[in-house]
Structure 1
Amino acid sequence: MSERWNNIITSAQTFRRELHRYPELGWQENRTAAEIRRALSSLDISWRDCAKTGTVASLGKHKRGKHIALRGDIDALPITEKSDKEWRSEHQGCMHACGHDGHTATLLATAEWLKHSEDQLTGPVTLIFQPAEEGGHGAREMIADGALEGVDEIFGWHNWPAIPFGKLACPDDIVMCGNGTFRIKLNGKGGHASQPELCKDPVLAASAITLALQQIVARRLAPQRAAVISVTSINAPSGATIIPQQAELGGSIRVPDIKTRDEVNQLIREISQQTAASYGVDCEVEIIPRYNATINHAQQAQRLRSCWQDAFGSAAMANDILTPIMASEDFSYYLQEIPGAFALIGAGEADEEAYPCHSPHYDFNDKLIPLVTELYARLVGAALPTPN
């Protein structure tokens, strides 16, 4: 490739590792935002802050063609890193365990490449550096602050270690599911463990509810409908000889659409309350909706796939990957507003252990940076890197 291209990719890799060393949680990405803005200013790319720690950059403002937005997310996770990388996190209890550092670095590499070929752009390009993807509804707040103003289409991506390196999945419809969380509070009657007949045991009720909720997917929904209900915590602190007064369950749901979400939520309430009642225990259910499913628009998904195949061939398609992925993405907010598409791109290498996203051992695969930078360049009609 050209020397300029190689320098941009090397610089992006260095930037990515620096971001990895200093991760920040959603709505706290002040240092990250400052570094992004400093890099954009050094490239003479105009930008504005958006939704506090978000940044919206603009190129080709006066071009008359289709206005395309490209998005990268910037926030980290509350996870203690267990890595021996030189660039491992220096912020205890916080790490880039999902690759948002790589998504951000790739979008900056794209910004620099597009700046060098700005005259060749066929239309305006907006670059969205979005905070608070990890449950903080950052996309919603960016939209509220005008990030999509004048934009015709939007594209984004997520690295995915479970998919072989360089393989792309981008269906015409649902690519990632919607999600939500729930809390179930049980109030019984505590007492001595030797006299359970005098108590109303919330631990026993919690155990029964945990088992009963697993039957929603197995027996209450059609097997063709994708859904997950996971009880992820049971909290009933007590002593070895004490039946406690209270217990609390927590968990997560994954659903492909609003209809399934509403049905699952109602079943969680009914089953929890009725099961608790059978044990003489009071039950309070709280369900917290998070993101809707990420649903691609067919025309834009086809364009994204075509650009990828033009660059890397038909063998670079992950045609055997089942979608939707049961994880969730707040990119869904953008796709509810304007046409666009979101892709999953494989990061797994055959000769290395592919730690999943959200693992304390995870690290972004830097080899993806040039691939996705070229994809973004193709999507906006920019000049392409040429072989040496």
Structure 2
Amino acid sequence: MSDFVSHMEPKLISWRQSFHSYPELGFMEYVTTYRLGKVLEGLGFTIHLGEEALERDARLGVPNKTELDKHELQAKAKGVEESWLAKMRGGLTGLVATWDTERPGDHVAFRFDIDALPITETKDTNHIPAKEGFHSMIDQTMHACGHDGHMTIGLGVASYIAAYQSILKGKFTLLFQPAEEGGRGAKAMTEKGWLDNVDYFYSGHIGIQSLPIGTIAATVDGFLASSKFNVTFSGVASHAGMHPELGKNALLAAAVSATNLYTIPRHSDGITRINVGKMVAGSGRNIIPSDAFLEMETRGETKKINEYMLTEATRIIKAAAGMHDVTCEITPVGITEEMICSEALIPTIIEACKSSDYIKEVLPVAKVSGSEDASFMMNRVQQQGGKATYLLFGTELNYPHHHQAFDFQEDVLPIALDAFIKIIEGGSGIE
């Protein structure tokens, strides 16, 4: 289907640049969801939106009502139809698109993440999005992790299914998932049941490693289980000069926590990580700080190791609060599981991609780090007897993911699309 992919290239570029210029943070991807949905609706897919797509109570780290209301008003101003907005209201973003060929065959699911990051994109003219005029139009928000490309690839896969539906068989489910950053969105889609009775599940990522264009990896190894949480310390304010003894210093409790968390012993069974990424405290130089706030995370090579890190972190936080006679509240805002790709898919993917005019090399496995909430989807499929994997799509990376100057080579888009098409064809997706 190289002619199809070649034909799609200009559209892929256009979609990617449009998504890049209007990034939205997790559970606030109202405009993004609408734009995706209108394309998919036009292709003939059945669209599942709002509570049809997500289990409301399984979401983690949902923004506060003020933020949601603001972004909903912005979405309305950007032309999102009220009938769509009504279903998404309250942070029920993302969608699921389904296609049933009504011919016996496998049920194949694909996941594409859609959220951006709270990063201000560089305006440096050496940065291609700035140079070519498709840099972020939204302050302090940027597609700095390739999700603009992932959505584009998803629309390409959908376009292929629609174009060749007469010769395809089985069922296809495309999950355009909100709030991947922070491990917040996949669980909500998984708990809705979308991964039940799926035979094959595929997701993937542009970059992560800097690999030559034309190189893909059939599986990955190294994603960690993780817990994301916020900590609020509450003390008592007082005049720092006249009555310091009457104050209870929340800032000190937070600082003691932040420094001592890094002293947790490493675990002998595998990799561990911990990070305090944000601390906010105090209101003035002569006031004992009554409030302090941390955003942090733990990671572990397995669920068990991550639980060890979380338990130790919780102990230290509570001890620091007790030391300074303040209270603390620990609020979970995200979670991921360990991920083990189905090795049985490696030879299938390698064989399927041999006929590609775009793919030059298929690595059996690529080493990665970090965490992925697609783990919930993969694990649900595998638990029920299906096979699942997570691919990498090679590109040159001049800057790392989550950097203000992050970008990728757009030539990777047709390569990734062709990889998924070859997988569909190689998995007997054609009648």
Q: TM-score, normalised by structure 1?
A: 0.81
Query: Aligned-pair distance for 1:295?
Result: 1.2
Conservation of the 8 A alpha-carbon contact between 2:21 and 2:134: yes
* d(CA) in 2 for partners of 1:88, 1:55: 25
Write the letter of the residue equivalent to 1:258: K
Write the letter of the residue equivalent to 1:65: G
Name the residue aligned to 1:235.
280
Q: Select between 309-318 and 222-231 the one with higher mean Cα deviation.
A: 309-318
Query: Aligned-pair distance for 1:366?
Result: 1.6
SS at match of 1:366: coil
* d(CA) in 1 for partners of 2:353, 2:262: 41
* d(CA) in 1 for partners of 2:122, 2:5: 33
Query: Aligned-pair distance for 1:57?
Result: 3.0
Q: Select between 131-140 and 338-347 the one with higher mean Cα deviation.
A: 131-140
* d(CA) in 1 for partners of 2:344, 2:333: 28
Name the residue aligned to 2:395.
347
Query: Aligned-pair distance for 1:124?
Result: 2.6
Conservation of the 8 A alpha-carbon contact between 1:186 and 1:281: no
Q: CA RMSD in A?
A: 3.4
Runs of at least 5 residues in structure 2 that lack an aligned partner in the other structure: 54-87, 124-129, 383-387
Count, aligned residues: 373
Aligned ranges 1:299-378 → 2 under 5 Å: 299=343, 301-302=345-346, 306=350, 310=354, 311=356, 316-317=362-363, 322-323=367-368, 325-326=369-370, 328-339=371-382, 340-349=388-397, 353-354=398-399, 356-378=400-422
Name the residue aligned to 1:262.
307
Q: TM-score, normalised by structure 2?
A: 0.74
2:235 is aligned with 1:187: yes
SS at match of 2:336: coil
Aligned ranges 1:1-388 → 2 under 5 Å: 2-49=2-49, 50-51=52-53, 52=88, 53-59=93-99, 61-83=101-123, 84=130, 85-135=132-182, 137-148=184-195, 150-166=197-213, 167-169=215-217, 171=219, 175-185=223-233, 187=235, 190-192=238-240, 201-216=249-264, 219=265, 221-278=266-323, 280-288=324-332, 290-299=334-343, 301-302=345-346, 306=350, 310=354, 311=356, 316-317=362-363, 322-323=367-368, 325-326=369-370, 328-339=371-382, 340-349=388-397, 353-354=398-399, 356-381=400-425
Conservation of the 8 A alpha-carbon contact between 2:222 and 2:367: no
* d(CA) in 2 for partners of 1:163, 1:176: 20
Query: Aligned-pair distance for 1:8?
Result: 0.8
Runs of at least 5 residues in structure 1 that lack an aligned partner in the other structure: 384-388
* d(CA) in 2 for partners of 1:379, 1:59: 17
Query: Aligned-pair distance for 1:214?
Result: 0.5
SS at match of 1:298: coil
Q: Select between 130-139 and 226-235 the one with higher mean Cα deviation.
A: 130-139
SS at match of 1:379: helix
Conservation of the 8 A alpha-carbon contact between 1:174 and 1:256: yes
Change (3 A) 1:175 1:192: closer
SS at match of 2:271: coil
Q: Deviations over 1:184-205 (max 9, x none)?
A: 5153675536997887655444
Name the residue aligned to 1:386.
none
- % of aligned pairs identical? 27
Change (3 A) 1:230 1:15: same
